[in-house]
Every structure is written in structure tokens, then in C-alpha cells.
Structure 1
């Protein structure tokens, strides 16, 4: 096994052992990565969240100048509860050229490859810095990346290129939809099920709201931009869950909807939010408050992460096409942190080992040859910016 690949597998084994599902702290994993990078001469910062439970890592190898290249990955993984795994999801298992474990492709494989290449970067990089950006809570709204970008902005640190190593089978991705996630809560008035008119059934009003989401989802099909390369080409809406009520014979006083939309353009997001606001203010709330003046509908923004907009000029895309030998760049329907880096003025691209088809599933894996392709790309990147 090639030295860098062996180091990557060893690193990945350690990273998988940190069960960094989103409700758990990632501090131990961040401290581990910080130590590894510091041992290769990187200048490392650990940036904690407001309560000190999570942290981003931002590290640099090379000169302290603007225009550096960011290698970005998120440290958190999705839960394994109620999934049927053939192996322990937090112990790396190798079978037939595949490495199994939660986070192997999404996206600790890329993080391991990037850190394994730190010695080469320390030796080669002179003309342009390499930055490592490892974030928290991507899976629940890209919270860490939002905080990281604001920190860079506040301190005037201005990298030029961002490579987000989400699993793309090493395809170069220049665009994806946004990801807007919401929780909408309905508060009505409880009562006996035999007299439904004397209460305000929060579940029934939540159902009306979901029906409105379905109508909007259909309307969005007609708003697909001409020539859209996305699949599907329009903005989508998904209702993830509807919860409420306590018993068959009790008017439900509370209900909660968790839903999302994936905009292909900002105007679609505004269209949906404006319609829902009017629908609640003009239709639902007056009927609810005619019975219970304290009735309410409150929507909490879990995360509004802009998509990665394909642009004619994109240095990140051009660099990755050169490094991978690909003939062109693609678009994907899933979201990443790339749009946040783009919003700060960086050119951004998504490219990493493994397939998104394996992400979030039991027996998640990344293939060894995918990790090798990633290492080859990173090696060529180091040579490209050597002084």
C-alpha cells in the first residue's frame, strides 16, 4: 500500500472511532486533528461555538498571504440509530477494497486524506497557503461553516479557493441547490374530542399547512429556470415529519412540522416564504384565533444555506479539472457548505472520494481506490503551488 494511502487509512480508522453524531461534541476529534496538523508545522486555530460544546478547526501551511486554497470537510456524521449494520459503525472494517464505518465517505475519508498529505504540503508549499477547514454541525444546518466564514470575515482572512471534499466519486461539481430547513409549530387549544368546535386542533391546521406545501411544490415545477442543469430542474419541497396530539379523543393542542426546500434560485425561496406568511396571516390564524386568541403558528429557521451557483469564472473548478483530468464539471441535487465559502468571495468546488449513494445509510463505505484518487489529486495540488 502506498505510504500516503496507508497513513490515510490509519487516520480514518482513528476518525471513525470518534462518534461525532450531531448531538455529540466533536471536541476530541478536533483536538486530535489539531495535534496531527501541528506536528507537521501547521498553524492551528480551534474556534469554539458559543457554549464551548463544538469547535471548528482552521489551520494553515505556507505563507501568511491572501488567496490560499481551503480544503474543507465537516466533522459531524448522521446517527446510526435504527440502522442495521453488519459491523460496528464506529470501528473501521476493511473488506474487498472497501472501508466500512459511519463517516467513511461523508466525509471523514476526505479529511483523513487531506491531513495525511500535510507532510507533503509542509515540504512543498511556498507560493500559496493551504488551509484546512474542519467544521461542526453541517448535517443540521451548516452551523459550523457559517460561524467559520464569519470568523474569517471579521479577521480579514481571505482565501481565494475552496475545495469541499463531499463524496462525488472525485467528479468536479460546480453547482448545487440551496438547503433551507424549517420547523413550524402550531399551538391551539385542547378539549374533548366529542366537541371539536370548542377547541383548536393544531394537527388539523398543520395538515392544512402541509397541503399548502404540496401546492407550492407543484407550482415550483413551473418556475424551473430555462436551461436549468439541475436534476430535477426546479426547486423542491419535502415534508420530513408531522408530529402532534396525545390521544384519539383529545383535541390536539400542539403540532410540529419539519420541512425543507432546495432552491435553484433565490427568488423561489422568497416566493415560498411570502406565500406561507400570507396563508398563515390571512387564512389559518384568523380561524384559529376566533376560538383561541392565544393560538399561534411559529416557524423556526433551522438553516438557510445558499446553493453553489455555477459561474463562468471559477478558479476552483479550473484547478480541479486540471488536477483530476476531468473534461467538465457537473451539478448535484444535494447541498454542501460550498455556497457559504462562495458567499465570502471565494471560488468554490465540490470534489471528494466516495459516493453520495453510500452516505447516511447502514454499512457506509469508501473504496480504497477512491481514497487513492483523492490523494493523487492533493499531491498534484501540492506540486502546483510549490514555491
Structure 2
């Protein structure tokens, strides 16, 4: 459908699209500061009379925002979104990724789906929340650096937990096609550096080839993933019902006639069991070192393998058993299972003690892709859900 048709279905859809146009225009790729978009959001919510707090990071180049509408002395609900986006190469896109374009029933731009579409809907609905008498507070929380490891969200979660009356449930607006998601995997990203022993490649049997040993480690990581696929543990509610490992980036070697003395790569472990993640990672490291270090050091005693955690974030547990979920469940959309992608839901649970679910517009299959888009109908569905939330919070 066209936007005009959708506007008849929801009175503030055009405002949501306008807000989304403004949000997409901020290039908030994670490597850049997000202070401009945070100021945009601060000004908007302050004008509504919200209680607004800006939480800068240690460098002062990034910040989170928390805006409260409603009373501070009652347990409330969190609407959570992140402000950063993944990189976009304009040469690969049909249009400027930071100039939102409407084509048919879709809105194109970096972040339309992941996840400024949700932020735009929250902004469009905020005046309705603000004009009534909420019995419970609503916390609009917008973070920095979610895409590079949920780096901003812990500060928000700790801030909320420190309140006299903390929130009792968080709704994370990651793209779920407006289905209720009640579980999310955790992730550990690990950088591995193999230190071998190089020299002229004509003497290669006397060397420890760091690239070759890195490839053997990657093969072991791949075999670990196959073992998860064969043996589990399994949770069929997840889109991928077992843990996974994957090597994602590799760099090594300097010339065709030099045995490489160093190679580094990054891999990830996505786990369905938060308690087992670190144990599994340490077991993998132990297996690799037991298999490879002795033969490496037989040729070069100083050869070694270094392991450094790049980042990690916790899995999001199942909040459907908590009392607040049971109270709010009648207005929630249909359940869509659990997801393998990451979100800040686990951060709110671990650092803030706030049970979390995921409900957001757009499909995760569009996230991080060239010509990312969101269906206008998804924004309309999100706004309808926020209407129901407004009614529930005023009871």
C-alpha cells in the first residue's frame, strides 16, 4: 500500500515517516559520534515535558538518552532502541543510504529496519503518551554502540536499576516483524593471534607457518559448530536451535616468498545457554592449544597463540513467566519464538534486573544489507501496538 492509504489506518503514521526521514539523515555508523542524534532526541522529548537524562560515555564522544513520561513513583515499562547503524557503502546502494527514499510500500535507508523505524514510531507515539495521565511511567531509552557489542546499554540498565522504583519490563524494538520474541542468543567475539616463526619460504619445513596454523584453528572452530549442530544442546524455539561458531575476519602474510610469522582472525560463539558460553569458549581454547602448541613449539619455542575477547553480550532469557509480562500479555502480539541475533535485552536483565522481550517493526533479514528497507505496514502495526500500550498504562 501507499503511505496515504496507510495514514488512513493510523493517524500518526505520517509523523512516524517524517521522524524516520530525520533520523536516517544522521550518519550514526558506530565509528562516528552519536551526539547529534542524541541532542535531536533530547530536544524532542524535553519539549514534550519528559524528564530527560543524557548519559555520556567515558570519552564524551558518545551518549545514551533516557526520557521518562509519567510518574516516577511507580514501576514502569522501557521502550529501548539503539541509535547506531552498521556501515553503508553508497556506491553499492541504489540511493543515498542516509537520505531515506520511498519506493512503493517500502522505505529505504541505512537503519530504517535496524532500528530507527522503531525509534521513529516511539517518537510519533510519544505526544499521545505525554498528553494523558499515565498510571505507570514509560522510559524511552536510546543507546550508543549496540552494533559493536552493546557497549552503551549497560550504563542505561544500571541507571534504571538505581532508581527508587525501577522499571519492571523492557520492550526491545529490534526488528521482529512485530512478533513477540521471548529469547535471544548471547555472543562472544574473540580475536586470535597466532605467533609463528617466519623466514624465506624455501626453508618452510623449518618454520612455523602462522597462516597454516590459523587455518587449522579455524577448522577446529568449524568442527565445534558442526558438533553443536549434531549434539546440541537444542532449543527448538530459536530460529537456529543450537549454538554456532563462525570465523569472520582474517589477516596474515606479507609476501609470496616469506613464511608468515603472524596471522590473526576473529570468530564468534553464539550461545543459547548463557551459563555455558564462557565454559564452552575455554574448552575450545584448551582443545586448540593441546592439539597445536606442542608441535608449534617443537620447531619454535617462542611460538604461541594469543586469545583476546573483543566483546561479549549476554543472552536474553524468557520473561514470559514474570508477573508484569502476565499482566501486559493481553495487549502483546503473537509469539514468534526466539532469535539468534543479538539485542540489548540480555543487558537489561543482567545489569538492571529488568526482564525483557523483543517487539519491533521490520524484518531482521533486511538488517545490515545493501538497500536496507522497512515496509510501511510494519510501522503502522508498531503504532497500533503502542496505542494499546498507551491504553494499558493509563488504566
Residue 139 of structure 2 corresponds to residue 149 of structure 1: no
Number of positions where the alignment pairs a residue of Structure 1 with one of Structure 2: 386
Q: What is residue 93 of structure 1 aligned with on the other side?
A: 101
Aligned CA distance change for structure 1 residues 33 and 312 (closer, same or farther; 3 Å) = closer
**Distance in 2 (alpha carbons) for counterparts of 1:376 and 1:24:** 33
Q: Which segments of 5 or more consecutive residues in structure 1 lack a partner in the other structure? A: none
**Distance in 2 (alpha carbons) for counterparts of 1:188 and 1:154:** 49
* Alignment partner of 1:333 out of 340, 348, 362: 340
* Alignment partner of 1:370 out of 368, 372, 378: 378
Q: What is residue 274 of structure 1 aligned with on the other side?
A: 282
Q: What is residue 52 of structure 1 aligned with on the other side?
A: 60
**Distance in 1 (alpha carbons) for counterparts of 2:79 and 2:393:** 14
Q: Is the CA contact (8 Å cut-off) linking 2:178 and 2:333 kept in structure 1?
A: no
The farther-off stretch of 106-115 and 142-151 is 142-151
Aligned CA distance change for structure 1 residues 242 and 167 (closer, same or farther; 3 Å) = same
Q: What is residue 313 of structure 2 aligned with on the other side?
A: 305
Q: What is residue 212 of structure 1 aligned with on the other side?
A: 220
Aligned CA distance change for structure 1 residues 286 and 227 (closer, same or farther; 3 Å) = closer
**Distance in 1 (alpha carbons) for counterparts of 2:127 and 2:213:** 59
> Post-superposition shift, 1:198?
3.9
Q: Is the CA contact (8 Å cut-off) linking 2:319 and 2:356 kept in structure 1?
A: no
Q: 3-state DSSP class of the match of 1:117?
A: helix
The farther-off stretch of 264-273 and 14-23 is 264-273
**Distance in 2 (alpha carbons) for counterparts of 1:43 and 1:278:** 50
What does 1:164-175 correspond to in 2, within 5 Å? 164-175=172-183
> Post-superposition shift, 1:190?
2.6
> Post-superposition shift, 1:350?
0.5
Aligned CA distance change for structure 1 residues 256 and 147 (closer, same or farther; 3 Å) = farther
> Post-superposition shift, 1:58?
1.1
**Distance in 2 (alpha carbons) for counterparts of 1:140 and 1:164:** 17
Q: Is the CA contact (8 Å cut-off) linking 2:118 and 2:173 kept in structure 1?
A: yes
> Post-superposition shift, 1:189?
2.8
**Distance in 2 (alpha carbons) for counterparts of 1:153 and 1:339:** 14
1:102-154 Cα shifts (integer Å, max 9, x gaps): 10010001001111211111112431110011111111111111232234345
Q: What is residue 181 of structure 1 aligned with on the other side?
A: 189
**Distance in 2 (alpha carbons) for counterparts of 1:228 and 1:351:** 20
Residue 51 of structure 2 corresponds to residue 32 of structure 1: no
Q: 3-state DSSP class of the match of 1:373?
A: helix
* Alignment partner of 1:231 out of 227, 234, 239: 239
Aligned CA distance change for structure 1 residues 64 and 355 (closer, same or farther; 3 Å) = same
**Distance in 1 (alpha carbons) for counterparts of 2:13 and 2:141:** 21
Aligned CA distance change for structure 1 residues 217 and 226 (closer, same or farther; 3 Å) = closer
**Distance in 1 (alpha carbons) for counterparts of 2:169 and 2:163:** 17
Q: Is the CA contact (8 Å cut-off) linking 1:172 and 1:320 kept in structure 2?
A: no
Residue 229 of structure 2 corresponds to residue 221 of structure 1: yes
1:279-323 Cα shifts (integer Å, max 9, x gaps): 344333333344444433222212221222225514565466422
Q: Is the CA contact (8 Å cut-off) linking 1:62 and 1:128 kept in structure 2?
A: yes
Q: What is residue 393 of structure 2 aligned with on the other side?
A: 385
**Distance in 2 (alpha carbons) for counterparts of 1:362 and 1:158:** 39
Q: CA RMSD in A?
A: 2.2
Q: Is the CA contact (8 Å cut-off) linking 1:169 and 1:355 kept in structure 2?
A: yes
Q: Is the CA contact (8 Å cut-off) linking 2:238 and 2:337 kept in structure 1?
A: no
TM-score w.r.t. the length of structure 1 is 0.93
Q: What is residue 105 of structure 1 aligned with on the other side?
A: 113
> Post-superposition shift, 1:372?
1.2
**Distance in 1 (alpha carbons) for counterparts of 2:217 and 2:39:** 44
**Distance in 1 (alpha carbons) for counterparts of 2:230 and 2:59:** 44
> Post-superposition shift, 1:80?
1.0
